[in-house]
Amino acid sequence: MLSEAAAVSFWALGTRATVLVTEPGAAELAGVILRAELAEVDAACSRFRADSELSRLNSAGGREMTISRRFAGALAAALDAARATDGDVDPTCGRCLVGIGYDRDFDELRGTDWPERTVTPAAGWRAVELDRERCAARLPDGVLLDLGATAKALAADQAAVAIAAAAGCGALVNLGGDIRVAGPPPEGGWRIGIVDRLGPGEAPDPAAAAQAVVITGGGLATSSTMARTWRSGGAAVHHIVVPATGQPARTCWRTVSVAAGSCLDANAASTAAIIRGELAPAWLSLLRLPARLVGHDGAAVTVGGWPGGPA
């Protein structure tokens, strides 16, 4: 939930996409730029489109494939996130997600108990070969990429910067909780409500915000084990998997919110924190990233100077 400003909102990438600008006259331009950005990301990175570059690379049978600069940048960002999180955020988790039933658009998963399948560990991000200068990539045969943990956050970063530059004003892009601001902020900064208990299909309710924070630059991301859940083989599962096992993370946190210099960095840290469980607060503190971690009992732990907590 966000500060009031001129806004454009629509559905894209399986979530609600919103852009706010500090100049009302720039809202239409901002919407056009955001739609174009997300259309390009979807064509390059969607795991649910047979014609996307990601799907074509997944089915290349181990052969090298020439890719666009857009997809090369997204793949490089995913590999950087894997390196920064010691492999916790791994783009080769595609087969793990398929194994727990996430092989179709999320809206199709809800309300059905899907048959249990064999789940195997991720191949590991080092298996991905990327030559960014030549815009070429190769995967071992059978490895499936999924850039869901990073492509959306990268899109928020790129869109916010592009909108601020084109419109000459402050901009905030929110892609389902992946938030990036750019340009001059509104007076008092961008006020953002942190929702830490959001179930499948639920829209944020202003009254349900657990806390409001203000940012003037950079990115903020929230990862949750509650928003994308379904049933597989009679058990409840969610979309944040542990690469080493291929199984959904059994974590002490239901929600983690992190602020960082970019949405991409914030998203990678919040996702890795879910996976790291009890070790996450010390890890985030070491990185000096402001964060709020909420346990299944609703108790919150804050680190890194997050408002209301220790510095």
Taking only the tens place, the pLDDT of each residue in 194-224 is 988 765 554 455 447 789 999 999 999 999 9
DSSP 272: H
Q: What pLDDT is stored for residue 105 in this prediction?
A: 72
Per-residue model confidence as pLDDT tens digits over 127-156: 999 999 999 999 999 999 999 889 999 999
Give residue for tokens 């730029």: 33
Per-residue model confidence as pLDDT tens digits over 23-47: 999 999 999 999 999 999 999 999 9
How would DSSP label each residue in 138-178? E--TT-----TTTHHHHHHHHHHHHHHHHHTS-EEEEETTE
Per-residue model confidence as pLDDT tens digits over 95-111: 999 988 887 776 666 66
Burial tier of 6 (Cβ tally within 10 Å: 0-12, 13-18, 19+): middle
Q: What pLDDT is stored for residue 219 in this prediction?
A: 98
Give residue for tokens 């809202």: 27
1-311 CATH, one of 3.30.70.100, 3.40.50.720, 3.40.50.300, 3.10.520.10: 3.10.520.10
* CA-atom Rg of the chain in angstroms: 19
Backbone angles phi, psi at 15, to 5 degrees: -150, 175
pTM over 0.85: yes
SS3 292: strand
Q: How confident is the model at residue 311 (pLDDT cuts 50, 70, 90)?
A: very low
Give residue for tokens 């048959």: 115
Give residue for tokens 């409001």: 212
Half-sphere exposure of 220 (CA within 13 A, CB side): 25
Per-residue model confidence as pLDDT tens digits over 87-97: 999 999 999 99
Map out the domains of the chain as residue ranges: 1-311
User: Which residues in the chain belong to E strands, given as ranges?
Assistant: 6-12, 15-21, 65-66, 113-114, 129-131, 136-138, 171-175, 178-182, 190-194, 211-215, 218-224, 229-232, 235-238, 253-260, 291-295, 300-303
Q: What pLDDT is stored for residue 42 in this prediction?
A: 97
**Apex 88 CA angle, 85 and 89, nearest 5:** 85
How would DSSP label each residue in 119-135? ------GGG-EEETTTT
| CB burial readout 9-28, b (16+ within 10 A) else e | eeebbbbebbbbbbbeebbe
Mean of pLDDT over the chain: 91
Q: What pLDDT is stored for residue 1 in this prediction?
A: 45
Strands of the sheet containing 129-131, edge to edge, are 65-66, 136-138, 129-131
pLDDT at 296 over 90: yes
Percent share of the chain, pLDDT over 70:
91
C-alpha dihedral (156, 223, 231, 147), degrees to nearest 10? 40
